[in-house]
Amino acid sequence: MRTRSRFRMSASRPWTLPALVAAAVATALLTTVPHGGPDRTGRAGPAGDVAAAAEPQGKARPDAHDVVLAVHGGAGSALHRDRTTPEQEKAYRDGLADAVRAGQKVLDRGGDSVSAVEAAVRSLEDNPLFNAGKGAVFTEDAGHELDASIMRGSDLKAGAVAGVRSVRNPISAARLVMEKSRHVMLAGEGADDFAARNGLPTVTQDYYWTQRRWDSLMDAKRAAAGSASRSDNGSGPAKASLADEQAKGTVGAVARDQKRNLAAATSTGGMTNKMSGRIGDSPIIGAGTYAKNGTVAASATGDGEIFIRGAATATISNLMEFGGKDVATAAYEVLIERLPKLGGSGGVIALDGKGTFDAPHSSEGLLHAYLTKDGKIVTKIFADETPPNS
């Protein structure tokens, strides 16, 4: 008999949120990103990994070749050397590198690309630095609703979950949907129950709580209240503050295995202060995630509504398949030329079957890392390591 461990926010929302918000607003916010660190241009990353040297990105030029796996930790405000301590730098580089190694272990023992991207994303979901799983942001009612998707390039099989509230690793739930159901996407309580019935670990909502994300929610609510006040006074339009620096902190992975089969996976906690029930691009096949042998494995991060409207990742594949474009040209066209015209920004990691890799982005930064076939891991976290394409 299975014991339900889901924390049902709906029953407690009427009284829990006002009390929590009032208490938190009355206190000074803390930040987990220290400032005042020394400049360390070109410093090697932890555990012998390579901290990529600053290199201007040319238009539609691949970032790397012979790549077998890559991960991202979200697009948005990049880290800056003069405001990041050595400890913070190490934490981010280690987090990305650990995810790469998790996927590498699968590939090294002959595992498939689907298992590799699942392992990589699970590592990121378990790391509170990133907006997925343990580090998920808060909704407007102080809850957590998580989304994830995964896709196999060999046969276009895909699975996704949206708005889950008690699955420890949503990416594994997405894979279950792909492999053990006749559906592509399950949402809400049905997705939570399906995952639990199939043996995935469940958690209560407090598992996802972190001080950093709570502080971001308080910041967003104060900004929204200030905008509303200015609007009431006739001094300017109200603006719904849904995002903070980490609102685009979606995580994802792409991989090609020894058979050159492609796979992609994406997971997210969504947007800070989002409406309950909001679903972004991460669980939507063709928007946040896409993989097709012969074209590309892609995982996106950014303004989800724009990536949905622009069918971002599927369009990259279509430009390659029907337009004859290479992966860098196709990814550049979508991320830099098309999506900004719709009013959004973000980034994508894109990998083709030959190992050509690109990570174009219109946002300030795109935290990511990749593994080459000779075993080298490259991490990119600073703004000067990932200059925005323009």
In the chain, where the domains are located: 49-206+245-380
Query: For residue 59, which of 335, 379, 363 has the smallest C-alpha distance?
Result: 335
Q: Which pLDDT belongs to residue 21?
A: 41
Q: What letter would DSSP give residue 339?
A: G
Please write the tens of the pLDDT for every residue from 92-110: 999 999 999 999 999 999 9
What is the band of 80 on the pLDDT scale with cuts at 50, 70, 90? confident
> Is 250 labeled as catalytic in the residue annotation?
yes
Mean pLDDT of 173-187: 98
Has 343 been labeled as part of a binding site?
A: no
With a pLDDT cut of 70, the percent of the chain lying above it is 78
Q: Beta-carbon neighbour count of residue 222 at 10 Å?
A: 14
Task: Kindly state the tokens that stand for 11.
Answer: 């029953």
pLDDT at residue 372 tops 80: yes
Q: Which pLDDT belongs to residue 383?
A: 86
Residues contacting residue 8 through CB under 8 Å, at least 6 positions apart: none
Task: Kindly state the tokens that stand for 257.
Answer: 């295995």
CA dihedral 78, 81, 87, 93 (to 10 degrees): 50
Please write the tens of the pLDDT for every residue from 54-78: 433 446 899 999 999 999 999 876 7
Decide: pTM greater than 0.75: yes
Q: Which pLDDT belongs to residue 227?
A: 65
Burial class (CB in 10 A: 0-12, 13-18, 19+), 62: buried
Has 304 been labeled as part of a binding site?
A: yes
Which fold is adopted by the domain 49-206+245-380?
Glutamine Phosphoribosylpyrophosphate, subunit 1, domain 1 (3.60.20)
Burial class (CB in 10 A: 0-12, 13-18, 19+), 82: exposed
Q: Which pLDDT belongs to residue 5?
A: 41
Terminal alpha carbon distance of the chain = 56
pLDDT at residue 14 tops 70: no
Task: Kindly state the tokens that stand for 85.
Answer: 């301590």
* Least confident window among 113-117, 144-148, 270-274: 270-274
Has 316 been labeled as part of a binding site?
A: no
Q: Which of 139, 250, 289, 295 is catalytic?
A: 250
Burial class (CB in 10 A: 0-12, 13-18, 19+), 24: middle
